Structure 1
């Protein structure tokens, strides 16, 4: 399968619609983060996230809502949370949303910190910084998806964190993108096109049991 097939889209696909889906998903991420409070259980935060998405008028979700607290921030999308932890006064959490807006897929994720733990704050900031560095590398070099994740691992190490190499980005498009069998961005051997790939960065603190996550559409 060549890169053209891997970046195939449907007849209704629009870059403007993808940008709209991106904006709406980030609106939801920020609204959810503003309402997550210490004392809330992880299951309650996930229910809150789904309510906010519905209130904002999404068409539907295309992947399960995911809010992870504390040690569960080390777990990948496919791994179940360990228990139903309560968010502490000094804690870390991330939000990962995949929702359809106007028949196009939005996917966004970010990490947030409650309290003033400096390691947690540094970890959350590092995930965003590494994302920005890798995105700029894509813009500047036009390198293949495989090389983007080699660079991501290097940047994570430079910031003192470990990249989770099992999380390597994925396709999006007009819903449903799953009919286009593209594989992971980190296995894509060509230059990723704008508007159809999600860059994911998940890192782990080197000594403490938590991590951070950031993802967005490459545009």
Structure 2
């Protein structure tokens, strides 16, 4: 499939609307994260996340709300959580939401910490730092999606973390992007166009049972 086909968009597509969806999705991530409290079960967190999105007036959810606590932060999107853990007073969690606003897809995710565990705090920050480094590499080099994830693995290792290469980013667009069958960003052999691809970074602590996640639109 050609790069043009993999980066196709619908007749209603608007870059302005994509940026609006991005802003609204980040607002939702922050609101959901602020609602997470120690003692809450993961299932309760996901239900609260859906309620917040409904309160914000979303068009619809295009991928399930995914909030992971503790060891479940190591699990990738398509894996089920183990059990229904309770968020601890010194714990780590991430929020991953895919939401349609004004018929355009937002997809954002970030990791947060309760308490003061320094390694959890460092892990949460590292996921964003690595994202920022990889996004800057894309802006300055114009490299392929494949090369971007090679670089991401290098940067994760340099920072002392393990990059989960089962997570390699994906398309977004005017809803639904799935009709374009574009595959993963990390398999894309061309320079990714701005406003069409989500860069995902998921890392694991080298010895402890937790990780961190960060994703945003390459724009």
- TM-score bracket for this pair, using the shorter chain length: over 0.9
Give the CA deviation at 1:117. Answer: 0.3
3-state SS of 2:9 partner: coil
Q: What TM-score results when the alignment is normalised by the length of structure 1? A: 1.00
Question: 1:45, 1:214 → 2: CA distance?
Answer: 18
| 1:154-175 deviation per Cα after TM superposition (whole angstroms, max 9, x unaligned) | 0000000000000000000000
3-state SS of 1:62 partner: strand
Which residue number corresponds to residue 46 of structure 2? 46
Question: 1:181, 1:208 → 2: CA distance?
Answer: 36
Give the CA deviation at 1:130. Answer: 0.1
| 1:127-173 deviation per Cα after TM superposition (whole angstroms, max 9, x unaligned) | 00000000000000000000000000000000000000000000000
Question: 1:218, 1:54 → 2: CA distance?
Answer: 26
Superposition RMSD on alpha carbons, in Å? 0.3
Q: What TM-score results when the alignment is normalised by the length of structure 2? A: 1.00
3-state SS of 2:182 partner: coil
Give the CA deviation at 1:22. Answer: 0.3
Question: 1:111, 1:62 → 2: CA distance?
Answer: 21
Give the CA deviation at 1:177. Answer: 0.3
3-state SS of 1:66 partner: strand
Q: Give the gaps of 5 or more residues in structure 2.
A: none
1:128 lines up with 2:131 in the alignment? no
Which residue number corresponds to residue 181 of structure 1? 181
Kindly report structure 1 stretches of 4+ aligned residues shifted beyond 2 Å: none
Question: 2:197, 2:72 → 1: CA distance?
Answer: 25
Which residue number corresponds to residue 74 of structure 1? 74
